Amino acid sequence: MAEVAALTRPDAIHWCDGSDEESEALIAQMQADGTLLPLNAETNPGSWLHRSHPDDVARVEHLTFVCTREQADAGPNNHWMAPDEAHAKVDALFDGCMRGRTLYVIPYCMGPIDSPLSRCGVEITDSPYVVANMRLMTRMGADALARIEREGAFVKGLHSIGELDPERRFIMHFPEELTIKSYGSGYGGNALLGKKCHALRIASFQARNEGWLAEHMLIVGIENPQGETHYVAAAFPSACGKTNLAMLIPPEGYRRDGWKVWTVGDDICWMRPGADGRLYAINPEAGYFGVAPGTSAKSNPNALETIRKNTIFTNVGLTADEQPWWEGLDNGQQPATDWRGNAYDPDQGPAAHPNARFTVSAKQCPSWSPMAEDPQGVPISAIVFGGRRASLVPLVFEARDWTHGVLVGAAMGSETTAAATGAVGVMRRDPMAMKPFCGYNFADYFGHWLSFDKTGAKLPKVFHVNWFRKGDDGKFLWPGFGDNLRVLEWMIGRVKGEAGGVETPIGHLPTADALNLDGVTLSEEAKAKLFGFERTGWKAEFDSIGEYLDGYGPRMPQALRDEQQRIAGLLAD
């Protein structure tokens, strides 16, 4: 802190203790200066609106660097800069940047305070908005500082909003130093350093060195009528339905039969092998930083209930009586003001930015699981990969074994969404949904995944899903949302050795009667495409996967190349 203060030269320094009194004072300060706007106290008590600078509304992958001593260690999946050069470049920006501002010191813990898998960090920032969000998203304050003092190790994060100039913006990661430096952005993924920066980019590097996994995955518990709960970890790229699946409400017939869904986490999952050989997972976050547009009573009623109070909304629209509004809300209200603060005009774009967000404590979720606070984590029965694929990929298939499962994750493809800057709707490979977040060479990362398959391991089964398959008319073929539980039920049946499957070169597909489709009407086209296997298309897909793996060069594990060749051979027969 002393070094940073000497560099940044703030007018004041505040050590955050995480108390209610501190939070109230910060919020009052932000309300006074217009950083936070109060929302309707009757409909959204304790809730606020924040408006970002229009040039600062999403992650900036092209300005995000992994700074390792050797470029090959960062890999072709990351933008690289030599550490000395990166420090010099960003420290020149930090020089004197906090004049006229307060420097906030945020000690935080990612994960339950007393969990052996949790890891701590300290973020120094000049943004009270960041402090307010970190309070919701992490275990922040005195307890975290006490753990840091006991352990003597923590991730160091330095952040300044700078001038919010896109030409003076960098998010630098130094995995070998457990250090993050972020300048020029106030957007969550760039500024809340406990989130993607620490919990994925730095933690993935820590995890490889320490023998665990830091993943871009939700964690959900599925309780059947017999009272058994199976925990599933699932990786989807941003804005592909992670939060919806994590907070899923079972269809009426399932609820009547006694099925329950428990939310452990909606975005990030840290897993380690337990003494019994299974993988155990914690959610390192304490809150949700969710995408607002598309969240509705149909898509995610639990999320709507979660954000009714004590929530910070970012870049949503406003109704005339100051209620938050976004596209897809479908609550009968109309926006009066757009996310920029202008009178709403549909010809000038949407009321809410497509990447508008809500930040809220996880404990407010109706389906929140107390197991989210278990220091040992929850045992994972299945790992699920998925993305947006309009064609080819069926609703669900199961990998043959762990190596095949790693290939399924490594080859994952999805159409891009508004969570990152750039074109929307372009298909790109996004291995394990970690393309923007893996803090080291993907080839080494795949090797780390493969290393868990060892004597005594009782690894989860691996599946791939595609809720987004479309018909010839361009419409989605699967109803999705709560009906996705039907697919999870089949997965759990496969884990228990009870559900039927058909072996194909790409994995096991459900047999015709394996999914409970009571109450779901599917056309013949939908059945054929959701549960079918298209050999010609998959042959081209696996040729593409082979080229993709080759792009990582000699570090690519031979086991993955062999698995790709094995399946390509089956498809050629």
Q: Could you tell me which residues come within 8 angstroms of residue 370 by beta carbon, excluding any fewer than 6 positions away?
A: none
Annotated ligand binding at 388? The verdict is yes
Residue 305: both structure tokens together: 């209930």
Give the C-alpha separation, 468 to 268, whole Å: 22
Please confirm, yes or no, whether 240 is among the known catalytic residues. yes
Do 251 and 353 lie in one domain? The reply is: no
> Are residue 205 and residue 224 in the same domain, yes or no?
no
Say how far apart CA 217 and CA 40 lie, in whole Å.
33
State whether 151 and 231 are in the same domain: no
Q: Poorest-confidence range of 67-71, 162-166, 461-465?
A: 162-166
DSSP 424-472: SS-EEE-GGG-TTT-SS-HHHHHHHHHTT--TT--PPEEEEE-TT-B-T
Query: Treating both helix axes as pointing N-terminal to C-terminal, what angle do 558-572 and 402-410 enclose, rounded to 10 degrees?
Result: 90
| pLDDT value, residue 414 | 87
* Residue where a domain stops, chosen among 211, 239, 273: 211
**Residue 264 and residue 187 in one domain:** no
Residue 531 marked ligand-binding? no
CATH of the domain at 394: 3.90.228.20
Q: What is the pLDDT of residues 93-148, one digit of tens each?
A: 999 999 999 999 999 999 999 999 999 999 999 999 999 999 999 999 999 999 99
The 10 Å Cβ neighbour count of residue 270 is: 29
Q: Report CA-CA distances (Å) from 384 to 399, 413, 524.
A: 10, 14, 26
Say how far apart CA 293 and CA 76 lie, in whole Å: 32
Over the range 43-69, which residues count as b (16 or more CB within 10 Å of their CB) and which as e?
Answer: ebeebbbbbbeeebbbbbbebbbbbbe
Contacts of 29 (CB under 8 A, 6+ apart): 128
Residue 42 lies in a domain: no
Domain containing residue 471: 215-287+369-572
How confident is the model over 378-388, as a mean pLDDT? 97
Q: Hey, what are 206's tokens? A: 């820590």
Alpha carbon distance 573, 568 (integer Å) = 9
The CATH number covering residue 196 comes to 3.40.449.10
pLDDT at 118: 98
Q: What pLDDT does residue 262 have?
A: 98
Q: Is 125 helix (H, G, I), strand (E, B) or coil?
A: strand
Q: Are residues 167 and 293 in the same domain?
A: no
Which of 358, 381, 411 is the last residue before a domain boundary?
A: 358
Burial of 96 (0-12, 13-18, 19+ CB in 10 A): exposed
Q: Is residue 44 part of a domain?
A: no
User: Are both 198 and 233 inside the same structural domain?
Assistant: no
Q: What is the predicted pLDDT for the residue at 154? A: 98
356 annotated among ligand-binding-site residues: yes
pLDDT in tens, 346-357: 999 999 999 999
Residue 239 annotated as binding site: yes
Share of the chain above pLDDT 90, in %: 93
Q: What mean pLDDT do residues 17-31 have?
A: 97
Q: Is 438 annotated as a binding residue?
A: no
Residues 194 and 260 occupy one common structural domain: no
Domain annotation covers residue 104: yes
Of 318, 339, 358, which residue constitutes the final position of a domain?
A: 358
Query: Residue 419: what pLDDT?
Result: 57
> CA 248 to CA 153: how far, in whole Å?
37
- One of 109, 197, 240, 438 is an active-site residue; which one? 240
**Which residue would you say has higher pLDDT here, 416 or 120?**
120
Average pLDDT over residues 19-27: 97
Measured CA to CA, the distance from residue 47 to residue 259 in angstroms comes to 33
The pLDDT score that the predictor gives to residue 427 is 81
Got the DSSP string for 71-92? HHHH-TTSEE--HHHHHHHHHH
Query: Could you tell me the pLDDT band of residue 417, with boundaries at 50, 70 and 90?
Result: low
Which pLDDT score, from 0 to 100, does residue 420 have? 60
CA 69/CA 417 separation, integer angstroms: 32
Structural contact between residues 169 and 185, judged by C-beta atoms closer than 8 angstroms: yes
Instruction: Report the CATH number that the domain containing residue 343 is assigned in CATH.
Output: 2.170.8.10
Tell me if residue 386 falls in helix, strand or coil: strand
142/267 same-domain check: no
In this structure, the answer to whether residues 476 and 558 fall within a common structural domain is: yes
Give SS3 for 126: coil
Straight-line distance from the first to the last Cα atom of the chain, in angstroms, rounded to the nearest whole number = 64
| Residues 310 and 459 occupy one common structural domain | no
The reply to whether 244 sits in an annotated binding site is yes
Q: Is residue 50 part of a domain?
A: no
Please report which confidence band the pLDDT of residue 488 belongs to, taking 50, 70 and 90 as the band edges. Answer: very high
Distance between CA atoms of residues 410 and 408, nearest Å: 6
Residue 174 annotated in ligand binding:
no
Residue 67 labeled ligand binder:
no
Residue 40 placed within a domain: no
Q: Does the annotation flag 483 for ligand binding?
A: yes
Torsion of Cα atoms, 11 then 12 then 13 then 19, to 10°:
-140
Looking at the structure of the chain, the number of domains it has is: 3
Structural domain contains residue 340: yes
Residue 357 assigned ligand-binding role: yes
121 is in an annotated binding site: no
Residue 198, in any domain of the structure:
yes
Q: Is residue 48 a part of any domain in this protein?
A: no
Q: pLDDT tens digits, residue range 424-482?
A: 667 889 999 999 999 999 999 999 999 999 999 999 999 999 999 999 999 999 999 99
- Give the helix/strand (H/E) hosting 288: strand 287-291
- Based on the fold, state whether residues 176 and 300 are members of the same structural domain: no
User: Which percentage of the chain shows pLDDT scores above 70?
Assistant: 98
Kindly report, residue by residue over 514-555, the tens digit of the pLDDT. Answer: 999 999 999 999 999 999 999 999 999 999 999 999 999 999
**Integer Rg of the chain from CA:** 23
CA dist., res. 540 & res. 105, Å (int) = 52
Q: Kindly report, residue by residue over 198-239, the tens digit of the pLDDT.
A: 999 999 999 999 999 999 999 999 999 999 999 999 999 876
Q: Was 111 annotated as part of a binding site?
A: no
Consult the annotation and say whether 242 binds a ligand: yes
Does one domain contain both 439 and 519?
yes
